[in-house]
Every structure is written in C-alpha cells, then in structure tokens.
Amino acid sequence: MIIEFGVFFTVLSIAIITYWSRILDIWGVILATILGFYVYLAGGFHLFLSLLLFHIFGGIITRYKYLKKRSRGIAEDKDWSRGWKNVLSNGFWVAAYLLLHPEGFVASLGGLATAIADTFATEVGLLSRKKPRLITNPLREVEHGASGGVTAIGYLGGILGIFLMLLPETFSNISVEIVMTTIGGGIVGCTVDSILGATIQGLYRCEVCNSLTERKIHCGARTKKERGFRVIDNNIVNFISTGIGGMVSLFLFMAPLSI
C-alpha cells in the first residue's frame, strides 16, 4: 500500500511538473497520469519506470527543440505542447498489450521500445554529417527531421535509447531473451514508422516559405499537400508502428528460436 501511494504521488508530482513546464497540455497530463498509474498496476514498478524514462527523455527533447526553434524565430504556437493524441499514440499499445497476461509484458516493452527508438533515432540522427536518406528510396537525400529519412547513426541512437529504457528492468532480473526481443521489436517498429512516414503520412508544402512540413498550417497560412493522406499524421503513424513493434517482440518471444 505504501508503494502504491508513493507511485501515485510520484505520478501526480510529475504530472504537475509536466503541465507547469508546458510539455503536455491539460488533457495530455490527465491521460498520461491515468496511463502511468495503470501501467504500474498491470505491468509492475519496473515497466512504470521505463515508461517514466520515455516520458522524461521525450519531454526534455520536445522542450529543447522548442527553445532552439524559438531562438531562430521559427517556433509555431503549438510546438511547445503535446496533447492527449501524442500520449495515446505512444502509450495505447504499451497499456493494451498488458491485458494479454503474462506474455503481453513482452509486447508492451516492444511498443515502448519503438516509441523511444523513434525519439532517439530522430535526435541522434541530427548529429550525422551526412543527410538522411529516404527509407523507401535510399538514393534520395532528405532534410534532417523529415519523416521517412533514416541515418545509420540514428539507428545506433535508437538502440541506445532502448538500452536506457531497459535499465530499470535489469533490477527485475530480465532475461537476455527479453532484451533481444525488445530490441528486435523496437528496431522493426522504428523502421515501420519511417516507411509509413515516407509513404502514407501527410506531407505538405508551405506556399509562403516554400519548406516541406508535416503541418497543415505554416507561416500562418494553409499548406498544400505534397504526398500521403490528410488523415494520417505523425500520431497515427506512431500508433501503428508502436502496435507493430509490440507484435514483433511478442512474435520473436513466442517463436521457437533459442537465442
């Protein structure tokens, strides 16, 4: 009971800090609090810590990006704050897979690994001197941060992110097998994210500044669609890829292959 109270107050204080630092808007905070507490109850303390690490890294990166953009004068109004859609797209499968007891834990880790690998791959990829290449057409270079672009160093960053996320699990005597299946699911999920980003995700061109963007509004004006579908935004892509990442981890775990 004492641990439950501890976790509850930890979740609550993090929710308040998250809202106060404008990393999430109010609905994002409410949903993240419910998800966080549920993951603790259904998946245990270590999985809860892994989710928390993702939340903290993701929050720091979002905030850092916003400050950098603002200093260059290109920040948009909504850049600073992520809403419930962001929380749901990254957290839905992490929570839902836990209903498949007990193997669901492996799938849940795979979904979370996808989300964290995607975040880390994007950020570490920025360090690459070479421009990212489009995953569906490696001969084509794209701008840093463009959806569908991949770099070798980005993949390494993604694996690093998964290892960081798994740190709390080492206290629960996690098996080498689960570490491997989590990395496998995360890498496949992250790759699916890039493929969807390069194909069906809506990409638009701003007719004011002529840059490519994922936003429907840029420079205060409506953008023109360049490829993909309007209904498929980054959240939908994250939702699909975290679901697939989890399934791949589960499949690798259940498959009769001994590592």
Binding site for Zn ion (CB under 5 A): 206, 208-209, 218-219
The residue among 127 and 208 lying less far from Zn ion, judged by its C-beta, is 208
CB of 75 to Zn ion, least distance (A): 12
DSSP single-letter state for residue 5: H
CB of 72 to Zn ion, least distance (A): 13
- CA dihedral defined by 208, 214, 220, 221, rounded to 10 degrees? 60
CB of 90 to Zn ion, least distance (A): 27
Q: Is 144 helix (H, G, I), strand (E, B) or coil?
A: coil
CB of 94 to Zn ion, least distance (A): 34
Distance of CA 142 to the CA centre of its chain: 21
The residue among 152 and 221 lying less far from Zn ion, judged by its C-beta, is 221
Q: Does residue 95 contact residue 166 with C-beta atoms inside 8 Å? A: no
DSSP single-letter state for residue 131: P
Residue with tokens 């259904």: 42
Nearest to 58 by CA among 101, 120, 110: 120
| Ramachandran class of 35: left when φ > 0, alpha when ψ lies in -120 to 50, beta otherwise | alpha
The residue among 210 and 258 lying less far from Zn ion, judged by its C-beta, is 210
The residue among 169 and 233 lying less far from Zn ion, judged by its C-beta, is 233
CB of 216 to Zn ion, least distance (A): 12
Residues facing 82 on adjacent strands: 24
